[in-house]
């Protein structure tokens, strides 16, 4: 009887752990654009939910200081320091609700090990010595950082769908600045000739809504193919 009770306890404990793991959810958040120059392109963040531990957090690589001298110029030239911030989802969602911007959520189909891995990566990134980074408008921003952390957590390779369009950095910028001619002019003056060269799918993901588009049909190719 004693052995049977021990076995039953182990089975129930295993089921409990499994249920807790299954309840963890990791999502890519994409936020609609606003009117300020740093809001024109939208925003990207990662949501981590673990109800068993009472966690519903947003990891946001888009935190910066308005007190930076010549902020707009430095923003466009990629000379601004950004940092990773962590807030409860309710605060994050509330901020966008106040300004009337939608927040879109794409839940990622991750294994338990991958969910733990991304938590470990984000926690490591949030350490005081790691959370600040030199922002680059095209190559290292809130969207590319979120994408890269997700990809690092995955056991395999993320495959994105191909497209038949041809884009440039400047062309994508103009898609989001067409309603703000003065901001568009200011950004254009700061962009070099590189902004007019054709860019591949991965480079297009610097823009939050392009990242959202490519994420919707992406799939994971496991190590065994």
Q: Say if CB 56 and CB 90 are below 8 A apart.
A: yes
**Locus of tokens 């297009």:** 204
pLDDT at 47 over 70: yes
pLDDT digit string, tens, across residues 71-91: 666 666 666 889 999 999 999
Q: What percent of the chain stands above pLDDT 90?
A: 64
Beta partners for residue 44, in sequence order: 30
Q: What is the mean pLDDT of residues 55-61?
A: 97
Return the CA Rg of the chain.
20
**Per-residue confidence band for 70, with pLDDT thresholds at 50, 70 and 90:** low
Q: Are the CB atoms for 139 and 169 separated by under 8 Å?
A: no
CA distance 37 to 187: 9
DSSP 142-163: HHHHHHHHHHHHSSSEEEPPP-
Distance CA 218, CA 72 (A): 34
Residue range 6-15: mean pLDDT, rounded = 49
pLDDT the model gives residue 216:
96
Its pTM stands at: 0.85
Q: Extract the tokens encoding 200.
A: 């591949």
**CB 216, CB 49: distance < 8 Å:** no
Q: Give strand pairing partners of 45.
A: 29
64 vs 147: which has the higher pLDDT:
147
Contacts of 23 (CB under 8 A, 6+ apart): 49, 50, 51, 52
Q: What is the mean pLDDT of residues 109-123?
A: 97
Q: Which residue has the tokens 């610097």?
A: 206
Q: Give the pLDDT confidence of 23-43 residue by residue, as tens digits.
A: 899 999 999 998 887 788 999
């Amino acid at each position: 009887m004693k052995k049977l009770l021990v076995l039953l306890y182990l089975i129930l404990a295993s089921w409990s752990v499994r249920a807790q793991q299954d309840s963890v959810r990791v999502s890519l958040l994409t936020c609609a654009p606003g009117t300020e120059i740093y809001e024109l392109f939208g925003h990207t963040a990662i949501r981590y939910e673990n109800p068993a531990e009472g966690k519903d957090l947003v990891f946001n690589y888009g935190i910066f200081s308005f007190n930076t001298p010549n902020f707009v110029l430095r923003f466009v030239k990629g000379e601004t320091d950004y940092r990773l911030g962590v807030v409860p989802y309710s605060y994050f969602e509330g901020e966008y609700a106040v300004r009337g911007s939608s927040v879109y959520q794409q839940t990622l189909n991750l294994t338990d090990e991958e969910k733990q891995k991304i938590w470990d990566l984000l926690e490591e990134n949030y350490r005081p010595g790691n959370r600040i980074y030199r922002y680059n408008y095209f190559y290292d921003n809130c969207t590319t950082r979120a994408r890269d952390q997700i990809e690092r957590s995955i056991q395999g390779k993320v495959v994105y769908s191909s497209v038949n369009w041809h884009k440039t950095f400047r062309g994508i910028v103009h898609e989001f600045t067409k309603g703000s001619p003065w901001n568009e002019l200011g950004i254009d003056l700061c962009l070099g000739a590189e902004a007019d060269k054709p860019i591949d799918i991965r480079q297009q993901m610097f823009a939050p809504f392009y990242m959202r588009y490519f994420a919707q049909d992406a799939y994971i190719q496991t190590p065994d193919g």
